[in-house]
Amino acid sequence: MERKLRELEQRMEAEGPTTVQLREFWELVNRAKLEQQLSKDSLNRIVRLRDTLFNKFYPPLFSLRKGLGLTAVAMLVGAVLIWYALQSDQLLFFLIGSAFLMVGTHPWGHWMAGKWVGVNYEYFYLDGPTRFEPCLKIDYRTYLKGSFDSRVLVHASGASATIVTALAILIAAFAAESLTVKGIAVLIFVMVIITEILAWAGLAAGDLRRARKELILKKQKGFL
């Protein structure tokens, strides 16, 4: 791993961050997770490489505190819009409220899980298929020091928060008189479930795909 780490550092210094280097970096991280004991120097170098690559492709959007505050506001606004939509059968408000609520709860799921297992976060950035979803940048030093189980929990927590939110929206929708609102709520829930199943199967990007990779690495390590 030391040789690969040195080669990647030299190439990045000569060429600057590239997508090829980003893929190679993730392979290097998987090797680091399987190391019996990662040295402090190797850990610091991996963190520096990751920060350089990450800042290039996923620049900071908001500080951690500001991002958590804004997503909390998004959750509140989403809940109010859904409540209003259920009283007035306004489909547009229901859709907007559902989007706000799910976008807001997702990073909070990650943050709370991180607090529980000792994994920190640094700032918010935009990711997702349309680069619209606010996401948390993990502090890789605390992340790599954690166990496989803690990393599984950190990754799976965002997907779990989204599923629970979609289920709550579905349950709330059945208080509405409009069959259309109920139908949209069912569609939202089904889409979320299908997306997470595909991610777990490795057929789509997502939190559960990362969680499954951690379990695979744990098995390779001999812990399963």
Structure confidence by residue, pLDDT tens digits, 131-150: 678 899 999 999 998 899 99
pLDDT at 129 over 70: no
Q: Look at 206 and 163; give whichever has higher pLDDT.
A: 163
pLDDT at 223: 55
**CA dihedral of residues 189, 192, 194, 195 (deg, nearest 10):** 170
Residues 9 and 45 in one domain: yes
pLDDT at 30: 87
Using CA atoms, how far residue 48 sits from 32, 200, 224, in Å, is 14, 29, 31
pLDDT at 17: 82
pLDDT at 18: 84
Q: How confident is the model at residue 55 (pLDDT cuts 50, 70, 90)?
A: confident
Residues 35 and 94 in one domain: no
**CA dihedral of residues 22, 27, 31, 34 (deg, nearest 10):** 110
Q: Above pLDDT 90, what percent of the chain?
A: 57
CA atoms within 13 A on the CB side of 59: 1
Residues 11 and 110 in one domain: no
57, 83, 101 - which closes a domain: 57
Q: Which of 100, 93, 95 is nearest to 78 (CA)?
A: 100
Residues 86 and 161 in one domain: yes
Residues 116 and 163 in one domain: yes
Residues 98 and 171 in one domain: yes
Residues 162 and 104 in one domain: yes
> In this predicted model, what pLDDT tens digit does every residue of 11-35 receive, in sequence order?
888 888 888 888 888 888 888 888 7
pLDDT at 224: 46
> In this predicted model, what pLDDT tens digit does every residue of 58-109 receive, in sequence order?
889 999 999 999 999 999 999 999 999 998 888 999 999 999 999 999 999 9
Domain of residue 52 covers 1-57
Q: Which of 166, 164, 155, 165 is nearest to 213 (CA)?
A: 155
Angle at 28 between CA 22 and CA 32, to 5 degrees: 140
Cβ contacts of 214-217, under 8 Å, gap ≥ 24: 214/33, 214/148, 214/151, 214/152, 214/155, 215/148, 215/152, 217/30, 217/33, 217/34, 217/148
Amino acid at 169: I
Q: Quick one: three-class SS letters along 29-73?
A: HHHHHHCCCCCHHHHHHHHHHHHHHHHHHCCCCEEHHHHHHHHHH
Reported pTM: 0.89
Residues 51 and 157 in one domain: no
Give the pairing of strands 62-63 and 133-138.
unpaired
**CA dihedral of residues 181, 187, 192, 196 (deg, nearest 10):** 170
Residues 202 and 160 in one domain: yes
Number of domains the chain contains: 2
